[in-house]
Amino acid sequence: MPRRIEYRLFLNVMTRYVHEPLPEGMTLRQPEYRDRALLAELMLNSYEGTIDYKGERLADALEEVEDWFKGRNGEALKDCSWLLEDDKGLAAVCLAGWWDTRECPIINFVMTRPDLKGSGLGSAVMQLALDSLVDKGLSEVRAMVTEGNAPSEKLCDRFGFMPVA
């Protein structure tokens, strides 16, 4: 089983990122409970064929999404989470939550629709989530990444996350 690596990013009011304009036809909003099925479908589609996919089904993804909304693994920070949509549905999502054990926020999920991977949309929603955490006055954020998940490792590196020893 691949090892999970914990990453940490220190935040401050100076932590701001240059936001590229969203592609035309894209809308941005925060998640709502009614988005559960759409989020589960995106989760399954975005993880299928990656190092993190373990044969899960739509019901498993829906349970993960329900757990996030209901705070079963720490409070869902819906006001620091972002959904990007186009005419085909969800394009990219970043969901943040509260990690009780570390007493700080965690980036729970960054998901991009398979036909849009590599487009920078995952980075865009991550930027918005990090800026939202800064706006709340939070001083750090964590992420857990499966070792060998090159796109997630690259995303963490891009924003300055450092592996925790």
Q: What is the pLDDT of residue 126?
A: 95
**Amino acid, res. 147:** E
Please state whether beta strands 4-10 and 140-146 pair in parallel, antiparallel, or not at all (unpaired): antiparallel
Q: What is the pLDDT of residue 149?
A: 94
Strand, coil or helix: what is 125?
helix
Cα three-residue angle 131-134-140, rounded to 5 degrees: 115
pTM of the model: 0.94
Task: Please list the rounded mean pLDDT of every run of 10 residues in the chain (165 residues).
Answer: 91 70 91 98 95 94 97 96 97 98 97 95 94 94 96 94 93
Domains located in the chain, CATH noted? 4-163 (3.40.630.30)
Q: What is the pLDDT of residue 14?
A: 62
Work out the angle between the directed axes of helices 36-47 and 58-70 (0-180°, nearest 10): 120
**With the CA atoms of 78, 84, 87 and 91 taken in that order, what torsion angle do they form, in degrees rounded to the nearest 10?**
-110
Q: What is the pLDDT of residue 94?
A: 98
